[in-house]
A = this chain, B = another copy of it.
Amino acid sequence: MRATSVVGTAIVATLFAAAAFVGCSNKHDSQGGSGNLGASASIRDLMKARGLTEADVEGALKTYVPTGKMDEYYIFASGGQSGNVNVIGVPSMRMLKVIGVFTPESWQGWGFGGDSDKILDQGNQGTHKIRWADMHHPNLSETKGDYDGQYLFVNDKANARVAVVDLSDFATKQIVANPLAASDHGGAFVTPDTDYVIETSQYPAPLGREYAPITEYKEKYRGVAIFWKFDRQKGRIDPAKSWAMELPPYTQDLADAGKLDSDGWAFINSFNTEMAVGGTLEGKPPIESGASQNDMDYLHVINWKKAEELVNAGKTKTIAGMRVLPMDVSGPEGVLTLVGEPKSPHGCDVTPDGKLIVVGGKLDTHTTLYDFAKMKTLIQEKRFEGKDAYGLPIMSFKDAISGQVEIGLGPLHTVFDDKGNGYTSVFIESTVAKWSYKDLKKPVEKLKVHYNIGHILSAEGDTVSPDGKYVVAMNKMSMDRFLPVGPLFPQNFQLIDVEGEKMRMLADMPIANAEPHYSQMIKADKLKPAKVYKPGTNATGEIDPARAEGGKERVERNGTKVDVYMTAIRSHFTPDRIEVDEGDDVTIHIDNIETAEDQTHGFTIDMYNVNVSLEPGKHENISFKADMPGTFPMYCTEFCSALHLEMAGYFLVKPKKH
């Protein structure tokens, strides 16, 4: 339901006034113009022609970005099961770029024969090559709890990996494969100075993923939180300095790092303390009912600063090559403490001042606010009401919370503005609830969304200093909102203006390629990505030792090994003919030696399943066996010039004599 309209009334009033003057205007037009009025002589005519209301006009004028003007914010949105990141401009809600992360993307030459294959291979698990992801929560790097625009970290729920995207060129530079968990969800959340990127598991499994029958769930299955150490100088996660904390098999869910007062701590909610394991074919209740039995599950309160000290003091076991702090150390040492949270909750969001942790009830109608100062005291004073089956201390719920707010049916995630408000996504009732975390009364306002919102984001809304201004409802169901596109419906991002007293729905954005989960919005001026590369830069950001320069192109043969040093510049390749023998091991070292912006070339060899995108200065190494004899054109795959189609040549593979 759109906010009702005193504003609307004002617009109508002005339009009627405008209409009264149409007579005068027309006199001016016929004097001044070339008869160009047509059907669109006034705003009122435009509105009538397109069936727009005043609220629609407001939505249109608040989101339109004219050619040559810029959006104010970037959204970095999870691409969900696409495995990649969608970059969106606000307020226009136009997709600006898809960043290849976990899943090969051929337009940008990500994972199609070039050096990016090696980065993708960093994410292999066990003996399996993994080439997709269920990406959930992109997180921008932070400095002092504020987005600094340098890096983006994303997780893969299905295969438990974390990737590092470098925002100096919007390209993925590293993937780390979680050696312990079989699934993750609480990731990739960052501590306030990005010392750590946190990745916590979802579905329990034995650490290291060893086989164990379901009957041994309580004994052998575990959760785990990995603290991946981030080396900002190198712009890479350092696995050797990373460590993990064993968790009980309670199906951990969302995580968040504390900030300011709560800096040094992290929080994870969970929803299956029942340890339900299903068995639908065996006539047992499914996990959906088994996991919903208890009135409370457990919020995990982690003192990672102290845990780090314990790790450095050697109090770990090594499992699958990683140092793991076991529960029988974490519990007694007060670095892992539990407290009840109502009824299979979802969402775990620290307020901008770092004082409160907000957990969404999901099956309970409340958000619950945990008071960090209270919990810290309880832990320091070892004031517990008991222990769980794994010896972990449990705090009293009443003593840990500052209060609860009745939100509605299905509260999940909360983000914040600059005025002390939280905005919670309310899935089942399909609303956004705005409420104050300072006064904890009932929500000041609810806005209907279309439909069934999952995650929610606001401008810089999970930092120490949110901007307010915009909220985006990331709705799971679009149903009747868009033109039909078959049985797989798009999702719907709805942009909401939260600057005024009341929330105002501005525009719908269908998501064409993903089921997104979390996303973050950052002020555009914080990012200053490069427009070209230093000549010879490869996929890892280094100047490649095998870079090819103009005038130094060549083909080197060493038995069956062929190295081609090749350049691309408008509108030809040098060399543009390569002849090899069937069975040769070929490596093409190719550089775009242009320097002008937006002067990208592509390169493919037909039938060899390779494609790379070469931005100005970019270098790629493409290695393959010439195992299929024949005549194969090679050409520039990215439109580059008037003579783009002439930018071609031949790759000839001479068959072995038989």
Number of copies: 2
Given the interface pairs A7-B38, A106-B82, A598-B489, the reply to whether A281 lies near B628 with Cβ below 8 Å is no
Residue pairs across A and B with Cβ atoms less than 8 A apart, 16 shown, are A63-B64, A81-B106, A81-B107, A81-B613, A96-B485, A96-B512, A106-B133, A107-B515, A126-B607, A127-B627, A159-B606, A203-B648, A277-B650, A287-B572, A288-B647, A483-B524
Q: Does A363 contact B (CB under 8 A)?
A: yes
* CB contact between A632 and one of B53, B65, B205, B494 (< 8 Å): that residue: B205
A125-B607 in contact given A107-B514, A214-B652, A602-B81 (Cβ < 8 Å): yes
A631 engages B205 (CB within 8 Å)? yes
Chain B residue contacts of A278, Cβ below 8 A: 572, 576-577, 648-649
Interface assignment of A545: CB less than 8 Å from any CB of chain B: no
Q: In the complex, what residues of B have CB within 8 A of residue A501's CB? A: 34-36, 38
- Contact of A170 with B485 in the complex, beta carbons under 8 Å: yes
Q: Which residues of B lie under 8 Å from residue A203 when comparing CB positions?
A: 606, 633, 635, 648, 650
Please pick, from B43, B170, B428, the residue contacting A14 in the complex, using a CB distance under 8 A: B43
Q: Mark A590-610, 1 if CB is under 8 A from B, else 0.
A: 000000011010101011110
The stretch of A257-265, A374-382, A391-399, A615-623 in contact with B is A615-623
A427 interfacial contact with B, CB 8 Å: yes
CB distance from A528 to the nearest CB of B (A): 7
Contact with B along A1-38 (1 / 0, CB 8 A): 00101110111011101111110111011001111111
A576 touches B279 (CB 8 A): yes
Known: A6-B34, A211-B653. A106 touches B128 (CB 8 A): no
The verdict on A292 contacting chain B, using a C-beta distance below 8 Å, is: yes
A606 to chain B, nearest CB (A): 5
Is the beta-carbon distance between A500 and B38 smaller than 8 angstroms?
yes
Is A14 within 8 A of B10, CB to CB? no
Contact partner, A36, options B6, B41, B616, B645, Cβ 8 Å: B6
B214 and A281 contact, CB distance less than 8 A: no
CB pair B505–A67 under 8 Å, yes or no, is: yes
**One of A83-91, A240-248, A334-342 at the interface:** A83-91
With A29-B10, A607-B126, A652-B211 as given contacts, are A639 and B454 in contact (CB-CB < 8 Å)? yes
| CB pair B9 A32 closer than 8 Å | yes
**Is A193 part of the contact surface with B, judged by Cβ < 8 Å?**
no
Residue of B nearest to A570 (CB): B288
Q: Tell me which residues across on chain B come within 8 A of A480, comparing CB atoms.
A: 68
Distance A53 CA – B489 CA, assembled complex (angstroms): 36
Beyond A211-B653, A513-B107, A637-B158, whether A11 also contacts B42 by CB under 8 A is: yes
Per-residue CB proximity of A429-462 to B under 8 Å, as 1/0?
A: 0000000000000000000001000100000000
Contact between B642 and A362, CB atoms less than 8 A apart: yes
Q: Which of A169-227 contact B (CB under 8 A)?
A: 169-171, 182-183, 185, 202-203, 205-206, 209-214, 221
Tally chain A residues at the interface, Cβ within 8 Å: 220
Q: Are A611 and B81 in contact (CB under 8 A)?
A: yes
Say how far A124's CB is from chain B's closest CB, in angstroms. 9
- Shortest A445–chain B CB gap in Å is 12
User: Chain B residues with Cβ under 8 A from A574's Cβ?
Assistant: 280-281, 286
Q: Contact mask A490-519 → B, CB, 8 Å, 1/0?
A: 100010000111100101111011110000
With A81-B611, A292-B643 known as contacts, the answer to whether A211 contacts B59 (CB < 8 A) is no
**Contact across chains for A281 and B555 when beta carbons are under 8 A apart:** yes
Question: Given the complex, which residues of B lie within 8 Å of A272, measured CB to CB?
Answer: 646
Q: Which residues of B contact A645 (CB under 8 A)?
A: 185, 202, 251, 253, 271, 346
Distance in angstroms between the alpha carbons of A501 and B36 in the assembled complex: 7
Contact B68 A64 (CB under 8 A): no
Q: How far is the CA of A482 from the CA of B95 in the complex (A)?
A: 10
User: Whole-angstrom distance between the alpha carbons of A103 and B604 in the complex?
Assistant: 15
Asked if A80 is an interface residue, CB under 8 A from chain B, the answer is: yes
**How far, in whole Å, are A502 and B36 apart by their CA atoms in the complex?**
8
